[in-house]
Each structure stands twice: as C-alpha cells, then as structure tokens.
Amino acid sequence: MNYTIDVLLNKIIKDGKTAGYDIDKIMDAYKLANSSHEGQLRSSGEPYISHPLAVAFILLDFNMDTDTIAAALLHDVVEDSGVELGMLRKKFGEDVALMVDGVTKIGRVSINATKEEEHAENIRKILLGMAKDVRVILIKLADRLHNLRTLNHRPPDKQRSTALETMSFYTPIAHRLGMNELKEEMEDLSLRYLDPYGFKSIEEQVHNRREQRESFIEKIMHRISERIGEMAPPPKMVGRVKSNYSIYKKVIVDGKNFDEIYDIYAVRIIVQSVIECYNILGIIHDMFRPIPFRFKDYIATPKPNRYQSLHTTVMGREGIPFEVQIRTVEMHNTAEYGVAAHWKYKVGLVAKQKHRDNVGDTGRLEWLRHVLDQQQDGGNVVNIAEAIKTDLATDDVYVFSPKGDIITLPLGSTVIDFAYAIHSQVGNKMTGAKVGGRMVKFEYQLVTGDIVDIMTTNSSSYGPNRNWLDIVKTNSAKVKIRAWFRRERRAENITEGKSMLERELRRNSLPHDAELISKAARELRFEETDEFYASMGYGGIQMTRVIHKVKELYISSIAHTEEHTHEINDIDLSSSISKKQSKGVIVEGIDNCLVRFANCCTPLPGDEITGFITRGYGVSVHKSDCVNVSSGKDERLIKVEWAHFNDLYYRAAIDVIGENRPGLIADISSVIFENKFSIDEFNTKKLKNKNVCLEITLEIANVEQLKSIIAKLQKVPGVIMATRRDS
C-alpha cells in the first residue's frame, strides 16, 4: 500500500472520526517528520516518511488517539534526524515527547558496553516507557509490524535477525497485552524468514484445502444458525482457520500430520452475555459429539492477558473435528485488540491523560512490574532478555493454592517458582512442597490443575539453597534468590566469589593478579572489589563474562609491555628468537609479518599448523597435513604456532547432508544459535538423490568447539552426515 498523508487523513474522514481528532496537530507532526526525513530512503527505495505514515495508519486501525498518531509520525525524528526532545515537548506536549522518547533507541551505553548490553538497555528503555504510558509499546509494535511487512527488501542476515528478535521479544509482549491479531501476523511474517521451506509447505497445504475448508465451515455455520437463529439479537458467527505459525508448530515442531490437528478449523460465536455463552455451549454439545478433554473454560479462568472465551472441540457429521469458540462482544474485542481495546471500544477516541494509566489493565500489566522490579532488585541488565524468554513465554500453566487462588507460571516452572510467585518470604522460608497432597521434589515441574501446598519454617537461620538457581524456571524467582544471598550472606558471597574466580583462573591458565582483577571489576561497573566478588558469589554476574574480561585485559597488558620477562604457560616470551603474534598465530623469526589463513584447509586452534612464505602476501598458515604445503619447498616453510592466549574467532566450514524435509533448516539454525555461534554464510543445494546439502560457515574459536557443534548437528532429526569441509 502507498502510504501518504492524504491516505491517512482520508481514513480518519472516511470512518467519521474527525470529531475525535485534532487534525491540525496531526498535520504539524507530519510536516516536521517529512522535513526531518527529507532525502532519507528506506531499503525499498521509498521515501522514509512512508514508514512513519504506515505506523500511524496501523495505529488508526486501533482508533488510537491524536497524541499517539502524532508520536507515531514523529517516532524516528530524534534517533535519525537529531530533533531535540525538548522541542517536541514544547510543540506537541509532554505525552507525545514521552512516547517518542520511549521508542527512541539509546546511544552507546559506554565505551566498554557489549552489543548484548546495548540491546538489553534498549529493551529496558522500552519497558520503562511502557510502564509510564502503555501507548509506547503500541507504537513500537506497529513499527515492528510494518518493518516485517517490508522485510523482503533487507539483506538475508538482517531478515533473520529481525525475525528472531520479533519472536523472542515482540510477539511475547503482544501476547501478554492480548493483541492476538497483531501477534499472529508478526509470527507468520517472521516464520517466512526463519524457515522459508517450512512456511511454504504449510502455506501450500492451507491453500490446497481452501475450497474444502470454506465449504465445510459454511455448512457448519448454517446448521448452527438454524438452531440458534431465534435468539435476539442473533449471535454473530465467523469461520476461521489457525494461523500458519500455529499450524507450523503442530506439524513441523510436534510432528503431527496436517489432518491430526483437531482445531485447525474453528467457528467463532459472539453473543451479548455470559449466560448466552454457556447456553450456546449446551446447544453445541447437543448438536455435535464433544471430543474428550478438549473443553476449556477461559471465562471462569481467564488467561493472564485477560483473554476470555469458551473453547470446545467437537466432531461433525463429515468426521472432521472442529473447534467452537464462544464469547461476548466485549471478550471478543479484548481477545483481538488486547490493551488497545481500551481506546477502541471503552474510552472512545478521546483517550485523555486521565485515562492514560492503563485503565482496566492493571492485571494485564502485572508481569511488567515484575520485570522492572527484578532490575531494581539487583538483576543484571542483560538478564532482561532471559526474563522476556521465560517469564513472558506464551505457554503457561495454571496451578492452584490450597485456598483456590490461581497462580499462572511459564511452562516448566517448579514448586520453588510457585513459592516465590506467592511471596518472596514464602520462597525464602520454603522447606518442602506437596502437590495433590503428596510430597514432591523441589525439581517437580508443575502442570495445569496442580494444587500446591508450600511448607515453610519460622527459623531465622533458614534460607534458600544456591542450587535452586539451577532449578527454577522464572527469572523473577532467580532474582529473589540472588537478592536474598546478596542481602543475608555478604561475607559468604565474597568468600564463595573468590573461590569461584580462583578455580576459573586456574582452569583458563590466567594469573591471580590483584591489580588485574581490580581493573576488571571497574570495567564491569563495580566500585569495590568485594562487591565484585560478592556478585559472583550470589550469581549476580556470569562467570563467563568475568573470565572474558580478565583474559581481554591480560592479553592487552602483554601487548603493551615492551619487554616481557615472565613466562606464560611455559611459553618464554623473552626468547632470543624473535616471535611475533598476529591473528592469534606466533611466527618464528619474523617480526610484523602479514599472516593470512589458507582457504584450502581453514585451520583452527587445535590443528597442527605450518607456515608457508608467499611472494608478496606474507605467511600463509595451513594445516600441517594440507596437500598444498606437503609438496612445498623446505626453504619456504616456516615454523608457526597458535598463541596460547587467543581470544579470536575463525571461519570454519561445515557441510551438512540431510533429508529435504520441512523444518530442517530451522532445526539446524536453532542448534547453532542455541550454542551461540555466529553464521557467516549459509547456502543450500539439492542433491541428485533428493537430499539437500547445507554449506554453513561459522565463527569458531577452536577445533573442540567445531567438534562439539558437529556432534550436535548430527543429532538433528533428518541429518544424515555433518562434516568439516577442508577445501
């Protein structure tokens, strides 16, 4: 669609909304955005202003108010054009400035900040802005949706990273806000880039059954209409099919046959009252045979995002199972638009400041307060990503206290998570747990319907166990456990932190140097070394980050020392023979030489290597058994060795032969990303025997890492062989 200001204004006028909008304010916002983005183009070649116009257009579908539309038009001017927030505040008011600031990415956190920390800070900034005004996240979701709709113009690596970020952060947020329609579109668009083969397979199967589906749903709705048509006013009925991503999860991930999915077809019945919902449920069960264990009452037990509806799966005369969803008009609006239904249906068009504080949405945003509390309670900013992936997971379990209170937790949560969800003190004083009246282990994973009774002690000397950090699922429980250890066991934490660091330093052959450790503590933002040790002791900072920083500083200190008179792991750096490290390789006898790694054998740390002096290109490093150097003249061969402290990454090529099945690429990519490897190249080609060959180039630190990832890839279903490519 070609988005222009005329299209935007026509939508307002066409829908008869002009009485509720300040057209002059919207036009002023457009003019400033248009002049600020003048000359800027999107990847598609379109003028950049088309993007903020599209975001505003999406928000108009939710009937968002004037300030939200103005903020949508201006949402990139601070980040991309240098417009000052103060000017926006003066010209458009506090609300617009707050929303624009909430969706504007921060600059670089600090000189020493990693990309992961910067990303986490940006997420935290969005959540903080959202806590002040929920419209911040609505603008960000609309922004992401339009970016996904136009993602085909971006490079493949950007497509994949954007889709992954969407699935790990934005779709869980949309789910928690109850914005089902927007969430499903983002999932389908992301899937197109995460697993194009799987997506195409599902899309084709849905398309091939289109006529059959439409005919079947039409017959079902006609039969139901004949039975309930006398109700006044008559219920509204719509037919629907599950989203492509929902089908993908069941077919590709769960391994089900397309025809085994019971709720792929659905009829939605919308009525006026809760009593009518249950009356129609009885009629449906009288007309069709209910399938056992396929009934869910989300009216009596709403989902955490306030979703309410009756779901029942029944069997029609044709022998085809289908789902019936029954809900009121208000439930339907909440299900489709979530928190945005506040503007669309309740408050109306003029959502003034007095309504801004998420009226009626206190429960829906409870999770947000938990996430923000974790940051105030000592949680490391990087842990926010973990919180999004666990505490905001779309799969939940519903469990009960002995008094009948419902506690909602992410799938995989334990009785310890349950205890901390009730209260911090319940978790801290927990001595055991009963589920359904019988004792269970702390590791017991809860399932929907469990009745959990937590046993506690009044002893002041009792507290949580450090092992609980490895057991609990929710980030909120981890933060509360760490907070207890930080508060109650400072001396113990310092001792434990020192012991842990000493073990890791020995394991990595690094010196226990007080000055080095003190400098690492400062660069990791700890004012005191004891605070640094204590944080390691209670799990506030990951040991991998600490060792990485110490190693980085140690190597830097060696590189800047003119004379090295000490030994490093028996490697004498003051040898009379000149040795120069370059790209993680020490070349004997030559200073400041150019080093490059041969593409024919792609050596990695751990391989036996040799150097070959080339004409004009320095030293080419090969594996010792490479055929291209085994026949070389002796006088051009030179001794090289891997530097003992090598914090570099190298390109390593892997060939994976597998069955050409939907989902194979997604499964392989998941294994790679779960193990935190970066992909440089990813190519596929079909083989004559109908199998597929995946040519993958990764960034690898050493041979052991390469062997590890190859072993894991060989376990992926459908993979026939995974091998290192040497040439």
Which residue intervals of 195-313 are DSSP H helices? 196-208, 210-228, 244-248, 274-287
Which residue intervals of 445-580 are DSSP H helices? 468-471, 475-488, 490-507, 514-523, 529-538, 543-559
The structure tokens listed for 573 are 């750096």
Which residue has 């600490």 as its token pair? 546
* CA-CA-CA-CA torsion sign (497, 499, 504, 505): positive
CB 664 within 8 Å of CB 700 = no
The neighbour count for residue 144, using CB atoms within 10 Å, is: 23
The structure tokens listed for 128 are 């903080």
DSSP letter for each residue of 83-141: --HHHHHHHH-HHHHHHHHHHSPP----TT--HHHHHHHHHHHHHHHHHH-THHHHHHH
Measured CA to CA, the distance from residue 41 to residue 581 in angstroms comes to 44
- Which member of 28, 80, 336, 531 is catalytic? 80
Measured CA to CA, the distance from residue 96 to residue 88 in angstroms comes to 7
The neighbour count for residue 352, using CB atoms within 10 Å, is: 11
Helix (H) or strand (E) holding 420: helix 415-422
CB 722 within 8 Å of CB 709 = no
Integer angstrom CA distances of residue 568 from 59, 316, 586, 704: 61, 76, 14, 22
Ramachandran area for residue 512 (φ above 0: left; ψ -120 to 50: alpha; else beta): beta
Helix (H) or strand (E) holding 188: helix 180-194
Instruction: For residue 133, give every residue at least 6 positions away whose Cβ sits within 8 Å of its Cβ, in sequence order, or none.
Output: 95, 98, 99, 102, 356
The structure tokens listed for 314 are 């029944």
Length of the chain: 727
Measured CA to CA, the distance from residue 77 to residue 55 in angstroms comes to 14
Backbone angles phi, psi at 51, to 5 degrees: -70, -55
- Which member of 22, 46, 79, 699 is catalytic? 79
Measured CA to CA, the distance from residue 666 to residue 136 in angstroms comes to 32
Integer angstrom CA distances of residue 565 from 51, 550, 571, 576, 643: 60, 20, 11, 12, 17
Q: Is residue 79 flagged as an active site residue? A: yes
Which residue has 């282990």 as its token pair? 441
**Residue whose C-alpha is closest to residue 595's, from 574, 609, 605, 581:** 581
Measured CA to CA, the distance from residue 299 to residue 328 in angstroms comes to 10
Q: Is 722 helix (H, G, I), strand (E, B) or coil?
A: strand
Q: Is residue 417 flagged as an active site residue? A: no
For residue 166, give the DSSP letter.
Answer: I
CB 651 within 8 Å of CB 698 = yes
DSSP letter for each residue of 319-372: S-EEEEEEEEHHHHHHHHHGGGHIIIIIS-S---GGGTTTTT-TTTTHHHHHHH
CB 581 within 8 Å of CB 643 = yes
Helix (H) or strand (E) holding 418: helix 415-422
The neighbour count for residue 71, using CB atoms within 10 Å, is: 33
Please give the positions annotated as active site: 79-80
